Structure 1
Amino acid sequence: MKITIITVVYNGAATIRDSIESVLNQTYSDIEYIVIDGKSKDNTADIVRSYGSRISRFVSEPDKGLYDAINKGIRMATGDFIGLINADDFYTHNQVVEKVVSLIERTHCDAVYGDVIYVNQQNKEKIDRYWKVGEYKEGAFLWGWMPPHPTCFIRRSVYEELGGYTLKLKSSSDYELLLRFIHKHKIKLSYLPEVLVTMRSGGMSNATLKHRWRANREDRQGWKLNGLRPYFFTLLLKPLRKIDQLLPKL
């Protein structure tokens, strides 16, 4: 089974080595690694090129933003499953893909997801949040649930059948896609109950109150785009779930 992993980056010279090394150091061997750069103005492209043929495909050109770049990578992918690792995140250990593939082979699922930890931007040893997701139950999106997007490995044929990331949303296209795949079309999920990805705190979806307000409005639009109606409290519960993620830290 071939696994495609995609990293999308723009001006990520400070962190992208961690992302790349975490992919290249995986014990699973059949990995296609694609890096999509939005024509960075720093030395991101030089860093990526320094890995030579260990990066399966590298493109550096202007794009229409994060989700446009991800869609570009998906169209290039030839793997059976596709995973995404952001340029400021990294896989927590070198057996992540091996364990994901083992679970896929046991369960014949359409997608795998797992847990996430958020670490301090300056100190990777300092944990800010721990997102322990738990098993999916049908209808969970109505109660503010979603799996951590960076941990998801999704069957390529699902993208081909159900489409990629919408460019109508600026920060919630990942939520809309997972809502569409899981809640609306009921793809088969499997949960790997361990931390798969380490994320640096302060990304686009975790930034300011202003961004959170915009994301909440876009989340609602995601339901509308799919002809779905949430409960009146659904989108209030979604950010409130983050309180649980802070408890281990406290």
Structure 2
Amino acid sequence: MKISIITVCYNSEKTIENTIESVISQTYNNVEYIVIDGDSIDNTLNIIKKHQSRIEKWISEPDKGLYDAMNKGIALATGDIIGVLNSDDIFHSEIVLEEIAKFHHENSIDASIGNIVQINQNGKIVRKYSAKNWKPNKLKIGFMPAHPAIFFKRELFDRFGLYQLDYTIGADYELITRFFLKNKITWKFSYITTTSMLIGGLSSSGLSSYRLISKEIKKALTRNNIPFNYTKVKLRGFWKIVGFLNKV
């Protein structure tokens, strides 16, 4: 079973080498690594070239943003399974892809969903995010599993389409809604902690960002003909607190 891993980057010189090394150090050897660079103007491209013997495919050219770059990576992928590793994240351990391959081999599913952890600059875990209790219906109130913890069969993108480019920050939400709710793909929680995500940098948790993603959640659910209550979507911060307190 071949696994394609896609990393999208732009001016990522501070973190991209750790990301690349976490892929090429995986114990699983049937990995196709694809790096899509958005025409970086810092040292990112030199770092990619330094490791190009271990990167199956890479391109560096202007794009229309993150999701356009991800679509380029998917178009290049030839693996049975596709996963995404962001340019400031690393795999949680060297055996993650070995565990993912084993899980997909043992389960006849379209996608697996795992866990992530968030780490600080010193590598210390500051938060754990589990999808153990997530169900597709939670998309209707604004909750999705962590995108890097999802591994999809490549054929799903051929059948149901790629990331839509008319979203600012919600194209991953729309794609997950389209796959899991509209087309009801088969999936299973893997219990695998796949990714260590670096915290810090510009915050995406401000009020303006919250309002924007609320609008894009509404847009995604409407586009896919999913019935929902927009008030509940806007109150998803409240549902998150209630869910945490009640461990739902």
Same fold (TM over 0.5): yes
Q: Pick closer, same or farther for the CA change 1:146–1:229 going to 2, 3 Å.
A: same
Match of 2:162 in 1: 164
Match of 2:6 in 1: 6
- Whole-Å separation in 1 of the counterparts to 2:235 and 2:11: 34
- Aligned: 1:148 with 2:146: yes
Structure 1 gap ranges (5+): none
Match of 2:60 in 1: 60
The worse-fitting range, judged by mean Cα deviation, of 144-153 and 164-173 is: 144-153
For the 8 Å contact 1:38–1:62, the answer to whether it is kept is: yes
Match of 1:195 in 2: 193
Letter in 1 for 2:218: R
For the 8 Å contact 2:38–2:61, the answer to whether it is kept is: yes
Letter in 1 for 2:217: D
Match of 2:211 in 1: 213
Residue 222 of structure 1, CA deviation: 0.8
Match of 1:179 in 2: 177
The worse-fitting range, judged by mean Cα deviation, of 4-13 and 141-150 is: 141-150
The worse-fitting range, judged by mean Cα deviation, of 66-75 and 190-199 is: 190-199
Match of 1:231 in 2: 229
- Whole-Å separation in 1 of the counterparts to 2:77 and 2:233: 33
- Whole-Å separation in 2 of the counterparts to 1:98 and 1:8: 22
Q: Deviations over 1:163-219 (max 9, x none)?
A: 000001010000000011001111011211132111112477834322222111111
- Whole-Å separation in 2 of the counterparts to 1:210 and 1:129: 24
Q: Pick closer, same or farther for the CA change 1:239–1:16 going to 2, 3 Å.
A: farther
State the percentage of identical aligned residues: 40
Letter in 2 for 1:167: L
Structure 2 gap ranges (5+): none
Letter in 2 for 1:212: Y
For the 8 Å contact 1:171–1:204, the answer to whether it is kept is: no
- Whole-Å separation in 2 of the counterparts to 1:131 and 1:176: 20
- Whole-Å separation in 1 of the counterparts to 2:57 and 2:81: 16
- Whole-Å separation in 2 of the counterparts to 1:86 and 1:92: 13
Q: For residues 91-110 of structure 1, what are the structure 2 equivalents within 5 Å?
A: 91-110=91-110
- Whole-Å separation in 1 of the counterparts to 2:29 and 2:133: 28
Match of 1:69 in 2: 69
- Whole-Å separation in 1 of the counterparts to 2:201 and 2:159: 30
The residue matched to 2:7 in structure 1 has which SS? strand
- Whole-Å separation in 2 of the counterparts to 1:151 and 1:104: 14
For the 8 Å contact 1:136–1:189, the answer to whether it is kept is: no
Letter in 2 for 1:72: K
- Whole-Å separation in 1 of the counterparts to 2:203 and 2:82: 21
Q: TM-score, normalised to structure 1's length?
A: 0.91
- Whole-Å separation in 1 of the counterparts to 2:229 and 2:4: 36
Letter in 2 for 1:84: V
Letter in 1 for 2:193: V
Match of 1:16 in 2: 16
The residue matched to 2:45 in structure 1 has which SS? helix
For the 8 Å contact 2:6–2:33, the answer to whether it is kept is: yes
Q: Pick closer, same or farther for the CA change 1:245–1:22 going to 2, 3 Å.
A: farther
For the 8 Å contact 1:130–1:245, the answer to whether it is kept is: no
Q: For residues 115-134 of structure 1, what are the structure 2 equivalents within 5 Å?
A: 115-120=115-120, 122-125=121-124, 127-134=125-132
Letter in 2 for 1:59: I
Residue 141 of structure 1, CA deviation: 2.1
The residue matched to 1:49 in structure 2 has which SS? helix
Residue 244 of structure 1, CA deviation: 8.0
Letter in 1 for 2:41: K
For the 8 Å contact 1:11–1:44, the answer to whether it is kept is: yes
- Whole-Å separation in 2 of the counterparts to 1:194 and 1:237: 30
- Whole-Å separation in 1 of the counterparts to 2:84 and 2:202: 16
The residue matched to 2:35 in structure 1 has which SS? strand
Q: Pick closer, same or farther for the CA change 1:11–1:241 going to 2, 3 Å.
A: farther
